[in-house]
Amino acid sequence: MSADALPLPGWSLKRRLLGLLLLVAGGVSALTIVLAYRAAHTEAEHAFDAQLVVVAETLMAIAADAGVDYAEHELSEHAYPDTLPVAYQVWGRQDGRVSLLLRSASAPATAMTVHEGLSDGERDGRRWRHYLLRRGDFAVIAGQDHAGRDALARELTLRILLPFLLALPLLAAAIWLTVGRALQPVAALAAEVEAMKPDGLNPVGLADPPPQEIAPLLQALNRLIGRMAAALAGEQRFTADAAHELRTPLAALRIQAQVAARAGEDSAARERALDQVIAGVDRMTHLVDQLLTLARLEPAAAQPAFAPVDLAAVAEAAVAALAPRSAARKQHVECALAPATVSGNAVWLGILARNLIDNALRYAPPGSHIRVRTAREGMRCVLEVSDDGPGLEPGARDSLRARFARGVAADGEGCGLGLSIVGRIVELHGGEFRLGDGLPRSAPAGVGLAATVVLAAASPSPR
């Protein structure tokens, strides 16, 4: 699937964070406003009740000390517009009966309440708040319309909460900027990845240290980039080497085909040229088979499950499969096969054994001696193929494991991939592969080459 075909993201992390933060902030703000409104309204009610008490106490003091006429004069003299006017009545006992001595314009001629202290009542279909104070022969009633009290309480509360309400948009803007700034490393990381090119897969680095939340993602991404870069470099090397190795036999085939075409009546020359063509085709077939095998071994993620495999049985099958070749070259293959069970893939281990034995048969001269040995040594199992061929200097042995590397005594049939395939299979099995001294030879005096594979022994099955 191409990058353009990938589905677009269904949601935005930034918008989700903003939504959640604004939702929480809005909920907390709404709760705060409700609680503050109720508290402010309650405080306003207490202040209005205190006003009723003060008005009643003042009227009582003036009426009791200076008389009702003076009280009326003082009230008219010092009257001022009030946001919430107070209706009042002054009742007194004269000539043995109770009569209304003084009242405000908004007060009725009848008693507004008969309940001492603070109380609620209705008048003309409206709710009122009253305060009745009795002292001696006087009684003072002060009252306020509940609707006016509620309206003024709301107004006072909103004035108190207005700065807070105005701060909410500023809070939302601050949250937006903060979340955007906090997510800048994610945008920077996306820009770095977007700017990467296939021929420049370098680890992603940010100008500032990444946040702890995206540091694991960045580390995992860099590990993936490292693996991709290594795989791409290996693929490029593999392609270049394969192209080089295929070009040489193709050129040789062309030359031999031209020789056969120009042979004319010379049947012997034509036969020799055609034999060389067949040999070249065989070599190319072997090369292509080895390339396909190596390609199948590259994606380690696709490796099948391991199971117990006896290296002795694997080696015995490989020797039997290559017996015609050893017989044709009059090579003696000695087998010393002891049980050696490992945990691995039987197909891959079969390829490993055949490549080791085939490599010895190809590079050892006709009539040479080759020994195949398997054994269990403690917690390890060993598969060793040694010969008395030309061998290899210790300093040149490591280079022989590289792709398309061939020994100096190559007979022209090898393609230089056998030991590279063996090394890859050993790596996938977590084992060890080494090249050392092989069997002694007499002419010329020296030692051949030994290829040794060491794998962990399989754990015994629980009973």
Segment 377-402, tens digit of pLDDT: 999 999 999 998 887 666 555 655 55
412 confidence band (pLDDT: 50, 70, 90): very low
Average pLDDT (331-344) is: 93
Average pLDDT of the residues in 1-11? 52
Tell me the mean pLDDT in the region 274-301: 66
Q: Any idea which of 78-82, 379-383, 387-391, 457-461 has the lowest mean pLDDT?
A: 78-82
Mean of the pLDDT values across residues 127-138? 88
Across the chain, mean pLDDT equals 77
State how far the alpha carbon of 112 is from the alpha carbons of 12, 51, 67, 79, in Å. 65, 17, 22, 22
Instruction: Work out the angle at residue 390's Cα, subtended by the Cα atoms of residues 386 and 392, and round it to the nearest 5 degrees.
Output: 80
> What is the percent of the chain with per-residue pLDDT over 70, rounded to a whole number?
75
pLDDT for res 155:
79
- Say if residues 117 and 53 touch (Cβ distance below 8 Å): no
Better-predicted residue by pLDDT, 317 or 401:
317
pLDDT single digits (tens) 422-452: 888 888 888 999 888 889 887 777 888 899 9
Q: Span 248-274, mean pLDDT?
A: 74
Q: Where are the domains of the chain?
A: 13-175, 215-294, 304-456
Residue scoring higher pLDDT (230 or 313):
313
| Ramachandran bin of 385, using left for φ above 0, alpha for ψ from -120 to 50, beta for the remaining angles | beta
Q: Which residues fall within 8 angstroms of residue 238, CB to CB, at 6 or more apart?
A: 294, 295, 403
Specify the CATH number of the domain 215-294: 1.10.287
Could you please state the CATH topology (level 3) that the domain comprising 304-456 is classified under: Heat Shock Protein 90 (3.30.565)
Torsion of CA 250, 251, 252, 254, to 10 degrees: 90
